[in-house]
């Protein structure tokens, strides 16, 4: 949420009314990608720091330098910080801004995917490999060929294929690409034009490269029309995630400047996906970012807010709450704070 919209908030009261508490409070963490590996929960967040950079729409104030892996023995157990798993100084091609990551497991190896800016200021996505879900991870010398933008999320389908979803507009630079080609003059479509979609690519058998040309995903409204760029309450902005429930693919994402976590469903990992509704209403802080993970037969939303830092947008804390599915497969909308303390997003 915009910084000016927090002035009326009593943060002590807000903390009491929050539906969940920060999983860790000794460091600031955000963008949690959660997985169950070997019966244990592992969360791969960004590590927020105060880089001393002024706020702007490109997100330059998000100056993260490294990654910590957070683990939990059970969903109610105390979260453990396993220390630095990867630092920007260890990545030969990356210069700055280690943004939202994800991880995957295959054949005893753990693959850690992360976006970062090269020296020329362009985001790419890299992979680092380790023998443990907590790292340390050893990065490949070059980013993934053909990768761009931010927010990698890796989905393992039931047939053993892995897919990476990525992309984010504004600071994430997705608006600069058309058909996987960068051009500085490209901009976000106008309000009445079709919105930019997130990108998907199947991963290679060795998990280090794309096995195909990345493809743009179509997100449709209930009438089958592609969402328009002016539909800020529904269109994709950043933070893609895919999970599967009762045979359906659920694609979820952040709407960015309207601060919703939304979802759409489809019958293929490539889409198209039909918009269904809101999973999470706005949180304190401009960004909202999530993952969805099944733990012992129940489904959980991992997310973040800035309540611990009293509204500082780039100092966030990861949280978790249970998801409820209705009989028709729809997801019950979650308010991160009690209804009587619902945030006013129109200020």
Residues tagged active-site:
31, 238
Phi, psi of 172 (to 5 degrees): -80, -10
Tell me the CA distances in angstroms from 270 to 243, 294, 336, one per residue in order: 12, 21, 30
Task: Show the DSSP H helices in the chain as ranges.
Answer: 11-17
Cα 1 from Cα 53, distance rounded (Å): 18
Cα 1 from Cα 3, distance rounded (Å): 6
Beta strands 248-254 and 238-245, pairing class: antiparallel
Burial category of 146 from C-beta neighbours within 10 Å (exposed 0-12, middle 13-18, buried 19 and up): middle
For residue 93, how many other CB atoms are within 10 A of its CB? Answer: 15
Quote the tokens at residue 13: 């009261």
Cα 145 from Cα 125, distance rounded (Å): 9
CA torsion, ordered 181, 182, 184, 187, to nearest 10 deg: 70
For residue 180, how many other CB atoms are within 10 A of its CB? Answer: 14
Tell me the CA distances in angstroms from 176 to 3, 189, 191, one per residue in order: 27, 10, 17
Quote the tokens at residue 292: 């969805």
What is the SS3 assignment for 262? strand
- Stated as kind and residue range, the H or E segment containing 225 is none
What is the SS3 assignment for 104? strand
For residue 215, how many other CB atoms are within 10 A of its CB? Answer: 16
Task: Show the DSSP H helices in 137-202 as ranges.
Answer: none
């Amino acid at each position: 949420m915009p910084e000016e919209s927090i002035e009326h908030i009593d943060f002590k009261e807000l903390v009491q009314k929050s539906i969940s508490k920060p999983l860790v409070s000794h460091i600031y963490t955000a963008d949690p990608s959660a997985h169950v590996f070997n019966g244990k929960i592992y969360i791969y967040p960004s590590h927020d720091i105060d880089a001393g950079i002024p706020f702007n729409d490109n997100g330059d104030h998000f100056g993260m330098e490294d990654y910590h892996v957070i683990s939990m023995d059970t969903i109610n157990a105390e979260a453990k910080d396993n220390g630095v798993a990867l630092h920007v100084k260890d990545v030969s091609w990356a210069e700055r801004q280690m943004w939202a990551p994800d991880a995957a497991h295959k054949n005893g190896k753990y693959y850690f995917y992360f976006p970062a800016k090269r020296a020329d200021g362009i985001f790419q996505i890299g992979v680092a490999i380790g023998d443990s879900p907590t790292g340390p991870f050893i990065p490949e010398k070059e980013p993934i060929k053909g990768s761009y933008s931010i927010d990698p999320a890796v989905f393992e389908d039931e047939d053993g294929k892995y897919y990476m979803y990525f992309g984010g507009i504004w600071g994430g630079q997705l608006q600069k690409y058309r058909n996987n080609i960068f051009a500085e003059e490209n901009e976000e479509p106008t309000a009445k034009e079709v919105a930019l979609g997130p990108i998907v690519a199947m991963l290679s058998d060795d998990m280090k490269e794309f096995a195909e040309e990345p493809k743009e995903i179509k997100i449709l409204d209930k009438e089958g029309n592609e969402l328009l760029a002016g539909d800020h309450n529904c269109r994709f902005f950043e933070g893609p995630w895919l999970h599967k429930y009762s045979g359906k693919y659920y694609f979820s994402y952040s709407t960015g400047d309207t601060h919703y976590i939304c979802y759409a469903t489809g019958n293929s990992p490539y889409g198209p996906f039909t918009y269904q509704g809101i999973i999470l209403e706005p949180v304190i802080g401009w960004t909202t970012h999530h993952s969805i993970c099944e733990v012992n037969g129940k489904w959980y939303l991992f997310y973040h807010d800035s309540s611990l830092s009293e509204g500082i947008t780039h100092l966030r804390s990861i949280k978790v709450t249970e998801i409820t599915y209705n009989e028709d497969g729809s997801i019950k909308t979650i308010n991160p704070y009690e209804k009587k303390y619902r945030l006013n997003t129109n200020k």
